Amino acid sequence: MDTILTVLFSLGILVWIVFLVDAHFGFKNLDSLESEECLENGPLLSVIVAARNEEKQIKSSIISQMKQTYKNVEWILVNDRSIDHTGKIMDELMELDSRIKVLHIKDLPEGWLGKNHALYQGSLKASGKWLLFTDADVKYDEEAFAKALHYFDKHQLDHLTAAPNLNANHFWLKTFVAFFLFGFSYFKRPWSANNPKSKIGTGIGAFNLVSKAAYKQFGTHEKVKMRPDDDLQLGMKMKKAGFRQRIVTALKLIEVEWYGSLKEAFVGLEKNTFAGLNYRVSMVLFSIFGVFVTHVLPFVTIFSKNKTIALLSLGNIAASGILYWMIVKKMTRFSPFLFAVFPITALLFIYSIIRASIITFKRGGIVWRGTTYRLSELRDND
């Protein structure tokens, strides 16, 4: 066993070093949208918001957008089969501002996920040169649009995505959000989107800005119509197809409460955990094993009587801690000292993977926004 641990932890340190170097150079090319100039006048921007049962969030989100300094904007609000007052609130907002249009969707055609279909239908009604796909719970600073459009135009982009401030009000939720971003960052390497030579792309649902021409040329949301992680997949596939893309941070300009509690986070991840692992059991098992060996086990074996294993464990903890610090400082407004409970948060994350996978298999699919989608059709349309 000591030999196995020695090999695993030695490889682990080498891998962490590779991640550290990659993140170091990647973050150097990751701009902050706050420092960007504002575009005062320009072409029409179409903001497309798909919402299902978002009566608690939709009004404050749209009002924050209506205060933008960039004025040449239209909104396409898509009510995706809501059974609460979302549609009514959208209609009331339309009465407040003539730039707002509302589309009510009653039925979901076969072969589509609800949100993806709603965003696609919204895009068909859009008249702008630029399309901004955003969520119904996102709050915007008044200069967010102007700065993003200036950056988009300056770099002659086809797609721009922005990392918002993920707000969390409870300690364990903060640790979970920070851990999720940490794992997502080194696993998906989103900063690679800023390297024109790389085929790696990314997308964030809070802010996916595309030129309408590039969006149509790419193939619209029809290319990701059965992906619960549509925001990520839209960006990944556009970059892979050769479109010009960048990611920026916008922690002071865009804010979203990812989930209200840790329990809500577990429920929310039911829909896309298995999709993120390509619907493969082998990937689920590999992820559980990998997270445990790299994020939990070193905190136990550091107390080993074998000095080599103890030192290697310390090396893994130190390297992962430095990377955690770098990512949390760059991508969030949380304290990097949340690393103090890192192994516990890792166990919570493992629990979320196991929970989501078991529930997905029991249901035979996922439940998203009140609609059940069979695992077989998700895999067939992947």
At which residue do the structure tokens 């682990």 appear? 12
Burial (0-12, 13-18, 19+ Cβ within 10 Å), 278: exposed
State the Cα–Cα distance between residues 371 and 373, nearest whole angstrom: 7
CA count, 13 A, side-chain hemisphere, 102: 21
User: What is the mean pLDDT of each successive set of 10 residues along the chain, which is 382 residues long?
Assistant: 88 94 94 95 96 94 96 97 96 95 94 94 97 96 98 97 93 94 90 94 96 97 92 96 97 91 86 74 89 95 94 96 96 93 96 89 75 70 60
At which residue do the structure tokens 């003539």 appear? 98
At which residue do the structure tokens 């409970």 appear? 341
Q: How many CB atoms lie within 10 A of CB 104?
A: 14
Q: Per DSSP, what are the bridge partners of residue 249?
A: 32, 163
CATH class in words for 31-170+187-258: alpha beta
> Under 8 Å CB-to-CB from 365, ≥6 apart: which residues?
372, 373, 374, 375, 376, 377, 378
CA distances from 82 to 48, 108, 371 (A): 17, 12, 11
Asked if residues 274 and 367 have their Cβ atoms less than 8 Å apart, the reply is no
Q: How many CB atoms lie within 10 A of CB 25?
A: 11
Six-digit token string for 96? 């407040």
Q: Is 51 helix (H, G, I), strand (E, B) or coil?
A: strand
Q: Give the model's pLDDT for residue 376.
A: 67
Domain boundaries, the chain: 2-26+269-368, 31-170+187-258
Q: Tens digits of per-residue pLDDT, 216-266?
A: 999 999 999 989 889 999 999 999 999 999 999 999 999 998 888 899 888
Q: Give the model's pLDDT for residue 380.
A: 61
